[in-house]
Amino acid sequence: MLSQKARYALRALVELARADGVQLTAGELAARSDAPRKFLEAILLELSRNHLVISRRGKFGGYVLGHPPREISFAQVIRVIDGPLALAPCVSPRMGFRKCDDCDDLDTCALRPALLRARDATAEVLEGYTLAEAVAGGGSGEVLQAV
């Protein structure tokens, strides 16, 4: 399930994509994405550390996207904020792959094939959906209802 933190991150990034290179403050982003400012500031710091946004400090500071909107996928953002897209660690190829604690053998696990298919389908959709598409497709609230 998508965390509220990831929803706020996606909403804020969609707003930055809509701004088309114009710098926005944390307060402006919080208002536009309907997020608590202090919570959003912590999220923006995490996004900045992962180069999805660039922060500028000072009186005239704010945030801009770290890459063009067409290069930032929903999957990237979710992985930064929530971690792997996979439902279990044994099907996470990128982050945190390991055998499940209660599994004797990966090859004979009856659950793993279904979990792999779910992860692959989820990854295909979220990796293929970018901030640019979210902006072109309508409001951030509409987009996040489908996710």
Confirm whether 24 is domain-assigned. yes
Overall average pLDDT of the 23-50 stretch:
96
Overall average pLDDT of the 119-147 stretch:
77
CA distance 118 to 43: 27
Co-location of 67 and 137 in the same domain: yes
CB-based contacts of 42, cutoff 8 Å, min separation 6: none
Of the given ranges (17-21, 89-93, 138-142), which has the lowest mean pLDDT?
Answer: 138-142
**CB atoms < 10 A from the CB of 27, how many?**
12
Co-location of 91 and 110 in the same domain: yes
**CB atoms < 10 A from the CB of 73, how many?**
19
CA distance 28 to 55: 14
> Which pLDDT belongs to residue 73?
97
Co-location of 5 and 32 in the same domain: yes
> What domain range is 144 assigned to?
1-72+131-147
Confirm whether 78 is domain-assigned. no
Confirm whether 139 is domain-assigned. yes
Co-location of 122 and 137 in the same domain: no
Q: Which residue has the tokens 């000072």?
A: 58
Overall average pLDDT of the 2-30 stretch:
96
CB-based contacts of 143, cutoff 8 Å, min separation 6: 10, 14, 134, 137
Confirm whether 79 is domain-assigned. no
pLDDT in tens, 46-99: 999 999 999 998 878 899 999 999 999 999 999 999 988 888 777 787 666 777
Confirm whether 3 is domain-assigned. yes
Co-location of 125 and 144 in the same domain: no
CA distance 144 to 139: 9
Co-location of 39 and 8 in the same domain: yes
Co-location of 53 and 112 in the same domain: no
Structure tokens at 40: 């959003």
Which carries the bigger pLDDT value, residue 16 or residue 89?
16
CA distance 47 to 76: 10
Co-location of 125 and 135 in the same domain: no
* 138 confidence band (pLDDT: 50, 70, 90): low
Number of domains in the chain: 2
| Strand duo 62-65 + 53-56: pairing | antiparallel
Q: Is the predicted pLDDT of residue 1 greater than 70, yes or no?
A: yes
Confirm whether 77 is domain-assigned. no
Percent of the chain exceeding pLDDT 70 equals 90
Q: Which residue has the tokens 């979210």?
A: 134
* 141 confidence band (pLDDT: 50, 70, 90): very low
Co-location of 68 and 88 in the same domain: no
Co-location of 9 and 58 in the same domain: yes
Q: Taking the model in full, what pTM does it have? A: 0.84
Give me the residues paired with residue 62 across strands. Answer: 56
